[in-house]
Amino acid sequence: MTGHSRRNPRSRIKSSSAVDGDGDGAVRQAPDISRRHRDRNTLRPSIRIFDVNLKVLVGFSFVAFFVILYLIRSLIVVGDHRTPRVITPFPAPKVIDLHQFQGEHKESLYWGTYRPQLYLGIRARTPLSLLAGLMWIGVQNGRYVMRHVCQGSDELSTYGWTHHNARDFGHQVLVDHDMTLTTSFLKTKESGSGYGGDWAVRIEVNSKKSEEAKELLKTGHLFFYLADEDGNALSLSRDAMNIPETSLLASGSRRDIGNWQLHLESRDDVQVHFSGFRTGHFHNLSELVQDNLGAQARKFGRLQLSDTSDDSSNILVFQISGRIPFRTDLAFISGTDFPSSREEERVNSLTGSSLTDRLKEKELEFDTRFEECFGLGNKFDLESTTVGKAAVANLLGGIGYFYGQSKIALPDPSHPESRDSFLYYWPAELYTAVPCRPVFPRGFLWDEGFHQLLIWRWDIHVSLDILGHWLDLMNIDGWIPREQILGAEAVSKVPEEFIPQYPSNANPPALFLVLRELVHGLKKNAFTTTESSEISSFLERAFVRLEAWFQWFNTTQPGKEASSYYWHGRDSSTIRELNPKTLMSGLDDYPRASHPTDDERHVDLRCWMLLAADCMHSISELIVKGKEVGMVYSLAAKTLSDFELLNQMHFDDAHGTYLDFGNHTEKVRLSWKEVMVEQGYTTRQLIREVSGTPRLRMVPHIGYVSLFPLMGRIIPPESWILEKQLDLISNRSVFWTNYGLRSLSKTSSLYMKYNTEHDAPYWRGTIWMNMNYLILSALNHYATEDGPYRERAKDIRDKLRSNLIRNVVGNYHKTGFVWEQYNQKTGKGKGAHPFTGWTSLVLLIMAEAYTES
């Protein structure tokens, strides 16, 4: 994919873009993070956090808490004692089994555009679903090409949802060179419908009047298909070859929805051809269609399907061809075996003028809901509001449903470099938003925390459902695989070597960002009575899993020093990386200590742990889990928010900011060397060369990590250190640009440096929306707190907000896309696109809807 090239879990493909010239037991007892920090000559003297009486209380609380945890653990019985713990589900009732996620709620979300990797893909939220999708023939470089799966190489000018409500409606525009398609999706539940109701798709095809379009795009060819993952045979209708205004194309039967029918309606002159296939593989359907078309073209010189079908076909593809422009409606109705199914009436309501009216109503509902949620009103012009709507519509339209088993890597302790042993997680389902349809069409754990900051404001029920699915992926130890590659369609998008997940690797617990917001909302009575009840029920059911998650971090990611943490799993033996990546931090190639050891302390992880502890304390108070439990999290939060202790561990006087600590030298570079490879051949490769002795020290790289204490609001509003952070933020050599805050200071020795021969800089200077949003939220906090720097924080907040909005809106209208990151020198979009995951946070920035403190 164009401009995309980080060989890490977030990015699989080499970049073709140039780099700027600027040069990665169940609930176990946690260590006592409230212990007094050890004295070190190079830092300020440590302080006493608690007085004597409180220590007694703390000791009692810790003992009581872990006695309870021990009793819980003693009750855990794993059905098969031979099952490794890493692939054993967490032994507690599933969150998604709550009553609020059953019944009408579950049925209302049964069908949807839940195949985000496709330009248009529909499925049900069930492991073996009836699938639907759209392909079409486009023209690129004077040749006919098949479109189906979203991919950058298709070079569409723009595509994405302009409206989508996450439930029953979406409208999408796709500009494929000289051809423009619009697709609309509508779902209804009518009297006589089967489970999940009925749905309709409208497809309109238009073309430009260029010479190439006149010659090659006289006729448009659409391919709409149904495929049954459960292997049920699909029946072809006799009407399929002879299309009056409304015709039955196909029918079938399933246990979940009963009998069903697919109808086509078009007032334009269209021809229909078909082909049926019998296969258990669904990730390569476009290849089946292309092979069929190719055979027909070679035999008869025409671009049409063969009008043949395998015995007991479980896939039917319908080619709908018409002179451009043309429009066609497809109506899917379920429960047709019921006596009162009202088939003709239901089809009529989902096609033609009835469908037109319904789509207009839904578009108006979307616009009304958009204003209710985000209140942009007259604050912005149409250009900006259009981008805001596209941001939320694409995030919601990118929600998918996946089912499969994660592949888990089991490193051999005796051979750390060998990772050949694998196990498979239990079969699991995941309902989630995705960061990017063409490049990352699957679930990413820390991304989802940012996605939900927007989604809960739009639809709290959908948001809770997604959060529940993620928490139900937790194993008995409290670990959640950070990247979810579930099912053949998802696996087909990822190179084999990147599929395994490592159970020792963490990922930022960003779900606590949205949980904190929900807790604040409950305290402020911001929800309806029903919503409050459902959120409370959710938190009560989820609490034991959140505890296990917190304890997993506390026991697997601690540093040597009390209340210190570091991201475990960096490669200390690499010979090709300029700076060993920290993929598990989410910040991938952001510079850390040059030589990974267990002496490291990572300031960002310490702040994530504060967020988690503080949120756990708030939840425990809210759902009355007992004073002992609440006290433990309260004390953990108090320790982690202790300003003096934070400064002792991470504040560097020379740079006036917060830094990581570790075994580090700046004298590292990549050099070309002759390297022996297989069969005695040598090749020139870039090899890491260290010319200085590393020592334990602050790691002198200022960037997003340095601002985590600011994001966490740990710095008192009256502190001179706050002034220093504001100085750095507004310094054009450090963070400030006209387009947003850069990820790494220009003063860093690794600013915009390649990490290997092929790994272009990722978090080494470019602008990322998720971090800018958290920084803006912090600035908004300090702009409303009494203190000497209040007005300055306000001024910086307003200018930064303006820069971010202007740049994202401008890029969208110039390029047709929202981007993964933005160039710090020019503001141009970079990387994956359309990236309507956390870059959609630009809408919250427009609405000035910042995270709560």
The answer to whether the beta carbons of residues 303 and 137 sit under 8 Å apart is yes
CA 371 to chain centre: 25
Q: Residues with catalytic annotation?
A: 588, 820
**What does the alpha-carbon distance between residue 11 and residue 16 come to, in Å, rounded to a whole number?**
13
DSSP code string of 547-613: HHHHHHHHHHSB-SSTT-B--TT--TT-SS-SS---GGGS-TT----SB--TT-B-HHHHHHHHHHH
Residue 288 amino acid letter: L
- The residue among 172, 189, 179, 180 whose CA lies nearest residue 121 is 172
- The residue among 807, 840, 801 whose CA lies nearest residue 822 is 807
Is it true that the peptide bond before 481 is cis, omega within 30 degrees of 0? Answer: no
Structure token digits, residue 282: 């669904």
**What does the alpha-carbon distance between residue 132 and residue 300 come to, in Å, rounded to a whole number?**
29
Burial (CB < 10 A; 0-12, 13-18, 19+), residue 190, is: middle
Question: Residue 690: in which H helix or E strand, if any?
Answer: strand 682-690
Cα Rg of the chain, angstroms: 28
Q: Report CA-CA distances (Å) from 231 to 283, 314, 749.
A: 15, 6, 58
Plot region of 848 (φ>0 → left; ψ -120 to 50 → alpha; else → beta): left
Please state whether beta strands 111-112 and 246-254 pair in parallel, antiparallel, or not at all (unpaired): unpaired
**What does the alpha-carbon distance between residue 421 and residue 54 come to, in Å, rounded to a whole number?**
48
Tokens 């054009």 sit on residue: 732
Question: Residue 367: in which H helix or E strand, if any?
Answer: helix 352-374
User: In this structure, is the dihedral angle defined by the CA atoms of residues 373, 374, 375 and 376, taken in order, positive or negative?
Assistant: negative
Residue 473 amino acid letter: L
Question: Residue 801: in which H helix or E strand, if any?
Answer: helix 790-815
Structure token digits, residue 546: 């959140």
Half-sphere CA count of 73, side-chain side, radius 13 A: 18
Helix%, strand%, coil% for the chain, nearest 5: 35, 20, 40
Burial 62-72 (b: 16+ CB within 10 A, else e): bebbbeebeeb
Identify the DSSP state of 841.
Answer: G
DSSP code string of 768-800: -HHHHHHHHHHHHHHHTS-STTHHHHHHHHHHH
User: Phi then psi for 607, rounded to 5 degrees?
Assistant: -75, -35
Helix 627-640 with 603-622: angle, nearest 10 deg: 150
**What does the alpha-carbon distance between residue 175 and residue 180 come to, in Å, rounded to a whole number?**
4
The answer to whether the beta carbons of residues 183 and 203 sit under 8 Å apart is yes
* Extended strands (E) in 244-295: 246-254, 258-265, 270-277
Beta carbons within 8 Å of 16's beta carbon, 6+ residues apart: 2, 3, 5
Please state whether beta strands 443-444 and 483-484 pair in parallel, antiparallel, or not at all (unpaired): antiparallel
Please state whether beta strands 308-309 and 270-277 pair in parallel, antiparallel, or not at all (unpaired): parallel
